[in-house]
Amino acid sequence: MVTITHPNFGEYEVETVVVDSRSSFTIACSPHRHVMPSNGGIRWSKYKTLSHQKDEAIMLANAMDLKHGFYSTGFSGGKIVVNSSLAPDEAPHVFDAIGETLNRYAGSMYTGCDINTNSAHMAYLRKSTPWILDAMDSPQISTSLATGYGVWSALAAVLQLSPRTNGTPLVAIHGMGKVGLEVARQCLDHGYDVIGFDVKQGITTPNGLCLLSEDDFWSRAPDVLCIASLSRILDMQTVERINARWVISSSNTPFDSPEAEARLLERGIGYLPDYVSNAGAVICDSIERSFPDVFRAMTQDQANKYTGALIGTKTGELIKRAELLGCNIPTLLSRTYFHVGNRVNLGEVAEIIRPSALV
């Protein structure tokens, strides 16, 4: 493991393991993981180079740092990025190697699901390592659904405090995975019109959801655009196509550059960052680790309501404060919750926040 100071994301401990000629993985952790354990899921994809793989791990660990810090989960940020030409189901030996690595970390890094990994993979991984948080002892709870409900709660707060002048709100969702579909279901249940887009064909969607082609999707003018697909999906060209009043991200780090985010804000479009809206899974992780008996007895509805209450309240607070200060939410966050150009000083935070100090 080496300590890397990234020009955009600060200092992280990084380890890359080459499993074989087709698969490798990188773990990026906060340097404060021994006082406040790192936590972040396993993302499985195909990257062009080891350098791209490492950059993705650091970028995502930083996104997790922001999320854990904002909700005081008792964790610091971490991420595992697998770079493989094999599908996860074809590569149990990669999970074995991840398990061996996590055991060396001895509880200073926890993991769970992310893009292209699921609870079945975590069940296999748990055979070799105990450092898994994925509601393993609470099969009645899906943390993906809790995440989706949290995003919905943020979206509902935005529409309540920034209502349209007339007619039914229109929500556009980019990405029809578990989270995107849950956001869609909640929007439909609450009487909103919903349009969606996904690169995959033949997706089963709720009644009332209108799937569009990519060109049609970006041509619409929704009240809220929800990004529930991939990281870095919003480049400069895509930002110029957005006609929404608000963008809410469920995907970690949705912009491919600071300039793309700045351009969105310059256009007067409201933006709620991913680490505010998509924290449902890490909130569940915090309950699972700090209150395991409570979590084992929780229902999906209770987990949803708990995460929704936290995220909806935080979102409403940010909207009201930003309005009173005459700024946008990212500016408010950068100047109050997180110092400009600096990550949260988790070394100091760890001294004053107990692991169970979820707020």
- Tell me the pLDDT tens digit for each residue of 306-342: 999 999 999 999 999 999 999 999 999 988 865 433 3
Q: What is the mean pLDDT of residues 35-46?
A: 96
> DSSP state, 111?
B
Tell me: pLDDT of 359 over 60: no
Share above pLDDT 90 across residues of the chain, in percent, rounded to a whole number: 83
* Residues 79, 53, 347: CA angle, nearest 5 degrees: 35
Q: Return mean pLDDT, the chain.
A: 91
Q: What is the pLDDT of residue 338?
A: 57
> In whole angstroms, what is the distance from residue 177 CA to residue 155 CA?
17
Q: Which of 105, 104, 94 is nearest to 29 (CA)?
A: 105
Q: Write b or e for each residue in 133-155: b if 16 or more Cβ atoms lie within 10 A of its Cβ, otherwise e.
A: bbbeebeebbbbbbbbbbbbbbb
Cβ–Cβ under 8 Å, residues 62 and 342: no
Q: Which tokens belong to 104? A: 């060396």
> In whole angstroms, what is the distance from residue 251 CA to residue 229 CA?
6
Cβ neighbours of residue 238 closer than 8 Å, sequence gap 6 or more = 218, 260
Q: Write b or e for each residue in 209-242: b if 16 or more Cβ atoms lie within 10 A of its Cβ, otherwise e.
A: bebeeeeebbeeebbbbbbbbbbebbeeebbeeb
Q: Which tokens belong to 41? A: 């899921």
Q: What is the pLDDT of residue 165?
A: 72
Q: What is the pLDDT of residue 163?
A: 83
Tell me: pLDDT of 188 over 80: yes
Around Cβ 251, how many Cβ atoms within 10 Å?
A: 24
Q: What is the pLDDT of residues 223-267, one digit of tens each?
A: 999 999 988 999 999 999 999 999 999 998 899 999 999 999 999
Burial of 57 (0-12, 13-18, 19+ CB in 10 A): buried
**For residue 70, how far is the Cα from the chain centroid?**
13
Q: What is the pLDDT of residue 1?
A: 79
Q: What is the pLDDT of residue 2?
A: 84
Q: What is the pLDDT of residues 117-172, one digit of tens each?
A: 999 999 999 999 999 998 888 889 999 999 999 999 999 999 999 887 788 999 99
Q: What is the mean pLDDT of residues 59-77?
A: 94
Bridge partners for 13 per DSSP: 3, 29
Tell me: pLDDT of 350 over 80: no
**9-13, 23-27, 100-104, 194-198: range with lowest mean pLDDT:** 9-13
Share above pLDDT 70 across residues of the chain, in percent, rounded to a whole number: 94
Q: What is the pLDDT of residue 137?
A: 83
Q: Which of 292, 272, 351 is nearest to 76 (CA)?
A: 351
Identify which has the larger pLDDT, 268 or 203: 268
Q: What is the mean pLDDT of residues 94-122?
A: 96
Q: The whole model's pTM is what?
A: 0.88
Q: Which tokens belong to 320? A: 């009201």
Q: Show the DSSP H helices in the chain as ranges.
A: 50-71, 92-105, 119-125, 143-161, 178-189, 214-219, 236-241, 258-266, 274-277, 280-290, 292-297, 300-325, 329-336, 346-352
Identify which has the larger pLDDT, 50 or 4: 50
Coil, helix or strand at residue 73 = coil
The single-letter code of the amino acid at 244 is A
